[in-house]
C-alpha cells in the first residue's frame, strides 16, 4: 500500500534544489595569486582583490580573473645614441603587476595588450633617458673606484686615465630608477599597472662601432705590448752591460793577480839564479854556454868567429885537455 506524500513536500524540494543551483552558480573562489573583475552585460561592475569565497549574480555576472603576482616584460635590444653620440645597443627588462584590475581590463583587456602597451612606454622611456646620459654614467656606479697605481701599471694614456677617474654623479642604478619613474608616469593610473622595477640587462656597442672599438683596443694593447718590450729590452741591455762590466772587472783583477804572481815567480827565479851563480860562477858560465851551443850551433849553421873568441874557450879547453895520440 503506497502512502501519498503531503502536497507541500514537492514544492519545498523543488525550491531547495533551485536554491542549491542558484548558490552553485553565484558562488566562486579566488586564489591568493588571483584577482577578478565582475562583468555584467559586458560592463565591469566592481573589482575583487581578496582571496576566498565570493558571490555574484548568477547567470548575469561574469568573473574575469587576472594575475596578482609580478610578471616580466622583456624588450627587444635597441640602438640608441648616448649624450656623447656613441651608438650602443641597450637590452632592458622590467617587472610589473596589476594593481587595479578594473582599470586594467578597461584599458588593455589582457596580458598581451598590456605587454604591447609596455613595449611603447618602456622603450620610449629607455630611449629618452639613455640618449640624455653619458656612456660612463650608464655603465658605472657611483661607488666604483679606480686604483691610480693600477692605471699606471696598465700603461694607459692621459685621456683614458681621465675617463676612468671621472666622478660618477648618478650611475646605472639611478638611470634605471629614472626609467621606471618615467615609465610609470606614462602608465599613470588609467592602465591599472605598476612598474616594480626596470633593469638594463646588457649594453654593447652597435656592430659598426664595435669593430672600431675592437680595433682601437687592439692598437692600445699593441702599444702597451711594445712599451713592455721596449722596457724589457732596455732592462736586458742594462743587465748585459752590468754583466760585461763585472766580467771585465773580474778579468782585470785576475790579470793583476796573475802579473803579481808572475812577478813574484820571476823574482824568486832570479834570486835562485843569483844564488846559483854566486855559489859557482865558473860552472854557471859553463852551463849557460853549453845551453847556447845547443841552441845556436846545429846542422847547416855557419858562424864566423876568431880562434881566440871567448865563445869557444870551453871547446879549446876541452881540446887541450884531451889525451894526445
Nearest Cα neighbor of 90 from 100, 99, 80 is 80
Of all helices (H) and strands (E), which one includes residue 38? strand 34-40
pTM above 0.85, yes or no: no
What strands lie across the sheet with 61-67, from one edge to the other? Answer: 43-48, 34-40, 61-67
Nearest Cα neighbor of 98 from 64, 146, 60 is 64
**Residue 178: all three cell numbers together:** 629614472
| Beta-carbon-side half-sphere exposure of residue 56 (alpha carbons within 13 Å) | 23
- Provide the pairing of β-strand 27-30 with 52-55: antiparallel
Residue-wise DSSP of 131-182: HTS-HHHHH--TT----HHHHHHHT--HHHHHHHTPPPSSHHHHHHHHHHHH
Per DSSP, helices labelled H in the chain are 9-26, 101-107, 111-131, 135-139, 148-154, 158-164, 171-187, 207-279, 281-296, 313-321
Nearest Cα neighbor of 52 from 25, 32, 26, 24 is 32
Neighbours of 305 (CB within 10 A): 9
CA 69 distance to own-chain centroid: 38
Of all helices (H) and strands (E), which one includes residue 73? strand 71-74
Q: Domain 71-208 adopts which CATH fold?
A: Tetrahydropterin Synthase; Chain A (3.30.479)
| Beta-carbon-side half-sphere exposure of residue 132 (alpha carbons within 13 Å) | 10
The tens place of each residue's pLDDT in the chain, 325 residues long, gives: 454 545 666 676 666 666 666 666 788 999 999 999 999 988 999 999 999 999 998 889 999 999 999 999 998 999 999 998 888 999 999 999 999 999 999 999 899 999 999 999 999 999 999 999 998 899 888 887 777 677 666 666 677 777 677 788 889 999 999 999 999 998 877 899 999 999 999 998 887 777 776 777 788 788 888 888 999 999 999 999 999 999 999 999 999 999 999 999 988 888 887 777 777 777 777 777 777 777 777 767 777 767 667 666 666 665 555 555 5
Confidence (pLDDT) at 1: 46
Q: In the block, which residue shows the cell 675592437?
A: 214
Domain range annotation of the chain: 11-67, 71-208
Q: In the block, which residue shows the cell 844564488?
A: 275
69 phi-psi bin (left φ>0, alpha ψ -120 to 50, beta other): beta
Confidence (pLDDT) at 68: 93
Q: Rg of the chain over CA atoms, in angstroms?
A: 56
Residue 133 makes CB contacts below 8 A (sequence gap 6+) with 82, 83, 170, 175
Amino acid at each position: 500500500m503506497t502512502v501519498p506524500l503531503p502536497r507541500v513536500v514537492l514544492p519545498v524540494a523543488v525550491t531547495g534544489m533551485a536554491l542549491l543551483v542558484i548558490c552553485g552558480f553565484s558562488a566562486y573562489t579566488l586564489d591568493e595569486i588571483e584577482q577578478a573583475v565582475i562583468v555584467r552585460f559586458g560592463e565591469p561592475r566592481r573589482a575583487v582583490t581578496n582571496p576566498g569565497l565570493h558571490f555574484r549574480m548568477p547567470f548575469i555576472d561574469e568573473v574575469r580573473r587576472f594575475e596578482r603576482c609580478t610578471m616580466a616584460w622583456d624588450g627587444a635590444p635597441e640602438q640608441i645614441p648616448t649624450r656623447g653620440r656613441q651608438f650602443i645597443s641597450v637590452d632592458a627588462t622590467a617587472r610589473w603587476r596589476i594593481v587595479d584590475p578594473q582599470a586594467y581590463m578597461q584599458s588593455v583587456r589582457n596580458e598581451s595588450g598590456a605587454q604591447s602597451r609596455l613595449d611603447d612606454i618602456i622603450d620610449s622611456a629607455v630611449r629618452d633617458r639613455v640618449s640624455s646620459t653619458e656612456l660612463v654614467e650608464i655603465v658605472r656606479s657611483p661607488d666604483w673606484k679606480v686604483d691610480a697605481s693600477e692605471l699606471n701599471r696598465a700603461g694607459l694614456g692621459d685621456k683614458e686615465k681621465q675617463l676612468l677617474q671621472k666622478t660618477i654623479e648618478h650611475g646605472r642604478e639611478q638611470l634605471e630608477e629614472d626609467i621606471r619613474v618615467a615609465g610609470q608616469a606614462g602608465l599613470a593610473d588609467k592602465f591599472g599597472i605598476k612598474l616594480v622595477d626596470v633593469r638594463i640587462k646588457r649594453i654593447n656597442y652597435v656592430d659598426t662601432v664595435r669593430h672600431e672599438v675592437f680595433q682601437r683596443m687592439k692598437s692600445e694593447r699593441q702599444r702597451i705590448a711594445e712599451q713592455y718590450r721596449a722596457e724589457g729590452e732596455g732592462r736586458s741591455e742594462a743587465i748585459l752591460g752590468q754583466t760585461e762590466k763585472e766580467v771585465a772587472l773580474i778579468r782585470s783583477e785576475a790579470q793583476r793577480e796573475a802579473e803579481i804572481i808572475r812577478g813574484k815567480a820571476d823574482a824568486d827565479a832570479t834570486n835562485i839564479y843569483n844564488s846559483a851563480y854566486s855559489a859557482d860562477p865558473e860552472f854557471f858560465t859553463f852551463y849557460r854556454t853549453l845551453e847556447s851551443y845547443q841552441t845556436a850551433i846545429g846542422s847547416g849553421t855557419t858562424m864566423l868567429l876568431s880562434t881566440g873568441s871567448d865563445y869557444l874557450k870551453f871547446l879549446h879547453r876541452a881540446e887541450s885537455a884531451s889525451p894526445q895520440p
